[in-house]
Amino acid sequence: MRILLVEDDVLLGAGIRDALDRSRRTVEWVTDGRQAQAALRGSEFDLVLLDLGLPGMDGIEVLRSLRAGGGRTPVLVLSARDTPPQRVLGLDAGADDYLVKPFDVDELLARVRALERRGRGAAVNVIEHGPLRLDPASHSVTCEGRPVTLQRREYMLLETLLQSAGQVLSRAQLEETLYGWDGGTESNSLDVHIHHLRRKLYPEVIRTVRGVGFVIDPDPPANAD
């Protein structure tokens, strides 16, 4: 799950980033409107958290230009602009949701989950796949009803692959989701996480497509016994 956070207030931005980071999401944080526009043109995000009062370019303009360019990334506006006309303006400009500052972190995270869920066309948060059950709200994973303890990156990798089940994701895509722009990973760390997942769950859970990437097949094995 990769989120673009656009917030010019350094202290608030750090707080939102921490909250998202601790709920196992990769956060890219920019502090002005033009950077936000550039980021949206350059990479794929699962969600944008957008402040409106931004230097460089107003958040509303960022939003309009994203929608005008055909971008369908869900956008959650976070703003101090609280009057009904201001909210209407934000929603009409293409926002999927609108949260007024100051907000509750739990509510922010719930709305983030709701938008993620809507992004993959599901009505409930929990992803079930054969014997696997992943709950994004509690970051818990069970396999055949048995709780599995996953490391942060392992969880993120599993969630990403499950959300795009049947779709082969490239090594680069997965690495960007896991580490963000900062990267700084050793070349084999992705393989290490996949190895751990196969060991903790079951070996066939992730299939390697040579030269392309990795995939979780849409038709899971009935019950691996």
Partner 1 sequence: MRATPGTALSIRALLLVGTSVTLLAVLGAAAWLSYSGSEEEAQELFDARLATSARVLEVLVARQVAKATVAAPIVIALPGPLEATGHDAPGPLGHYYETKIAFQVRDGNGRVVVRSASAPDSPFAPLDAGFTTRPIGGQDWRVFTLHGGDAWVQVAERDDVRGELAEKLAFAAAAPLLAGIPLLLVLLSLVIRQGLTPLSALARQVAARRPGSVAPFTLARNPAEIAPLVEALNGLLARVRDALERERRFTADAAHELRTPLAALKVHGQNAARASTSAEREASLQRMLQGLERTIHLAEQMLAYSRAAAPGDASRLERVAMAPLLREALEGIQPRVQERRCTVEIAVDSAAAESAVNGDRQKLLSLVTNLIDNAVRYSPEAGRVAVALRREGDTAVLSVSDDGPGIPSELRERVFESYYRIPGTAGAGGGLGLAIVREIAEAHGARVAIEDGPGGRGTRLIVWFPLA
> Which chain residues interact with partner 1 by CB under 8 A?
8-12, 14-16, 18-19, 22, 31-32, 54-56, 78, 80-82, 100-106
* Shortest reach from residue 184's CB to partner 1, in Å: 20
* Shortest reach from residue 33's CB to partner 1, in Å: 9
Closest CB to partner 1 among 97 and 162?
Answer: 97
| Cα dist from 194 to 85, 86, 174, whole Å | 48, 46, 11
Closest CB to partner 1 among 11 and 124?
Answer: 11
* Shortest reach from residue 102's CB to partner 1, in Å: 4
174/152 Cα distance (integer angstroms):
14
* Shortest reach from residue 22's CB to partner 1, in Å: 7
Closest CB to partner 1 among 57 and 91?
Answer: 57
Closest CB to partner 1 among 110 and 122?
Answer: 110
